[in-house]
């Protein structure tokens, strides 16, 4: 069963782990929504792993999301908090003597939400990554109150990781709007069997299976509903 992305509006995107394709999936959603005629923007409130460009610290994933957005949003709005070290955000912030707080992150989302018909908020790492002294990515999802889309990086062990993450999402009484499978290797053994198991075990529709490709057209083909 494939969900209709026409009816999915603002959502919180989380993953089964780090480096499993959340940003790739966020860009795929943005490209697909825009192909359907919606104005769409991404919000990656915290990014760890920045590089200096023209005197500004920028993150490669944030730049990719910004490039996939509809016109009318600045990269500073897409990614208001960019940390230099490519480590856990709370540790990177500590190194910079910064304090990550929930309210400014929510304020950043509220500032852009009325301007676009569709918004994807990308979390950090997996669902329970610490963000500050007293909150983590799950707390952010609860505070936003948005439907959750889970990105499953297709590799050995992903079924266990996916089901544990689903339990954590549902335990917080959040709506699991759907899941996206992201192909991490073109030679994964028994990938079709893994996908079949995820279809059976995750109590939410599959929004699509992203192929081993970075081309926006391939992502749109994988996610775009029949209309």
Answer left, alpha or beta for residue 208, where phi above 0 means left and psi between -120 and 50 means alpha: left
Q: Reply yes or no on whether 173 is catalytic.
A: no
Q: Kindly report the number of other CB atoms within 10 A of residue 120's CB atom.
A: 29
d(CA 35, CA 220): 8
**Max CA pair span of the chain:** 50
Angle, in degrees to the nearest 10, between helices 22-35 and 216-223: 80
d(CA 41, CA 57): 21
Catalytic hit among 44, 84, 94, 224: 44
> C-alpha 160: how far from its chain's center?
19
Closest CA to 147 of 7, 17, 50, 46: 7
Positive or negative torsion for Cα 16, 213, 24, 151? negative
Catalytic residue IDs:
44
């Amino acid at each position: 069963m494939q969900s209709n992305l026409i009816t999915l509006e603002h959502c919180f995107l989380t993953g089964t782990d780090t480096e499993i394709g959340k940003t790739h999936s966020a860009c795929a959603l943005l490209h697909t929504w825009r192909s359907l005629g919606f104005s769409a923007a991404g919000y990656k409130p915290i990014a760890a792993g920045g590089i200096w460009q023209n005197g500004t610290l920028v993150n490669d994933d944030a730049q990719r999301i910004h490039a996939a957005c509809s016109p009318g949003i600045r990269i500073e709005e897409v990614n208001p908090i960019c940390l230099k070290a490519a480590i856990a955000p709370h540790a990177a912030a500590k190194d910079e003597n910064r304090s990550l707080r929930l309210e400014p992150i929510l304020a950043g989302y509220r500032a852009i939400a009325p301007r676009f018909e569709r918004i994807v908020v990308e979390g950090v790492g997996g669902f329970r990554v610490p963000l500050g002294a007293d909150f983590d990515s799950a707390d952010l999802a609860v505070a936003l109150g948005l439907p959750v889309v889970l990105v499953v990086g297709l590799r050995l062990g992903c079924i266990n990781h996916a089901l544990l993450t689903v339990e954590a999402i549902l335990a917080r009484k959040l709506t699991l709007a759907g899941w996206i499978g992201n192909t991490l290797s073109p030679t994964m053994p028994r990938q079709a069997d893994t996908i079949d198991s995820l279809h059976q075990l995750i109590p939410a529709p599959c929004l699509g299976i992203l192929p081993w490709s970075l081309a926006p057209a391939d992502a749109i083909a994988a996610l775009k509903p029949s209309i």
